[in-house]
A and B are shown apart, each in its own frame.
Chain A
């Protein structure tokens, strides 16, 4: 039952079954009628031939009969009877006595009226006097397993010449004088029909099976494989593999289905990633809050009591020194916990002018012991002419401490080098500077915190094209074009970009887009000039004079390179996620995600390059002159 359901439950087998059954039916019916008509033709040909023969015998014996030359008649009958296709030739008289026969033993035997040769005419009490040609034939088998025999009865009618003949054998009153009975063997014909049947059957079998195989081949190729691939993909996705992609897509409907399946999985993957990330962030926030609350209480005790001890031991410099370490480190713990809370709510860092080289030196002092223990050689390539930058020294120190400790961990017990390099670099403002404020001529803010692009609030504008209108969220990063189009519109038709609040137009009638010649928009950035761009978004032309005039952005780049185990490529994009750790029990998985948050809060960036077995380089870029001053 299950097996049948399994077999007939498959669409390909159903299809193959239906097509094969139809082929069998059509070819079967065709073959049946073909064989039937061919055997009919053969048989009628045989009958015609037999009739001719019968007539010939009758005619050739006619004169001999009149002359009453019985020996000659016997001779004729014998000779004809020798033909292999002829079974027997007999002449019977009116009473049923066999007068002549090719089989000598038959001569003189009497035939009953019920004998097959006589029955045609003698079925009724009164015998037929005339027998139509079509009724003269009969087919019968002498024995059940012998071949069929075609018999033809040719009645010999009385003629004037018969009764007038010298022998006076027949009276003039008789209507029928006797019967010429010719029996022909149908063995050849039957053999031919049999061969025809075999040939036809063979043909039918070949045709049906080749149709079957062709159907199986194409159904497998066009239906079975893609469907199996789809089912496999669905299983993979159900099992949680959202990176699965269906390959070798055809151009037919199943291919389209596969394509939209791939697309769906891609979207699902993105959304689940985002959901995953935000859930993780939310749980991290709760965790941080709980940890902060729990740790801050004991820290209060440590801080208070050690401070009191400090006051009480003013005359003991040795003790004072030790207690100062406790107070200092407790204060550091306080900042770390605060950083944890800050990360959970991504608050603004407490910035002051700091010297990065100093911060790095402090961080190195902390890890010095670990360096020695792990036989790690430290290479410092610090650019001593680095300008000071505005940053939160505590947070930045935490960043470097984390990166150094990670580097040492990566090197492991076998020793290696850790290189720390600082250098000033310049980068084009495009793709870096964020538009944080934008207004229309009536000072309505365009900043849309609801719709973020790349994690930053976008610029919400309204686009009007023909009778169509909808919102366009402009990418807040200068020179970046991840705009979000709320409506579909014809980029070649005339468009108008307006303020979503007051409908005032942003189009600058006096200039044209230098790339496409179309209209341009000009949006005011308070205190920082105007940003211009192609209003139909046909091309990526964008200009922000205020920022361009300031020239390239200056950053300080800090590279932390280790000769450690490296990070496998599949982990590279995960390392900045909260709770991602490869250190098992030893790590919390918070380090790099906190680092990322801190660097991001400083308008900086952090990137990583790694080769398994060769080493890893983390590159941190921090803006040199506070970006806030310009932006």
Chain B
């Protein structure tokens, strides 16, 4: 099924979504530690990450990684609504990493006057390290 959403963006089963990228700075991790009230030192102190054998850099908070994926969905489906999102964290994102969120539409279903797009998304670090795999259902309006 093909359909168009807000701004006339065309959606069809199997089509690739527009990539979304972000360079992860330490300042963001400091902000997220406060937002989450999370004292885990592996997000704030590289030595703490090293001590537990997780590498030489601080590790980004999991919820922040999921927020990047949600941002990518918002960019691809403006003013849509997330219905469901299943996430599997498969690797770490470190301070200074360039993350890219990419994916495709695996299914589109009509739901009354609206549509639900099921998307398979991955958050990748660098060339090929997959850090998060997500399956997302997005509800959006057909463009007028």
The answer to whether A and B interact is no
| Interface positions of A (Cβ within 8 A of B) | none
| Interface positions of B (Cβ within 8 A of A) | none
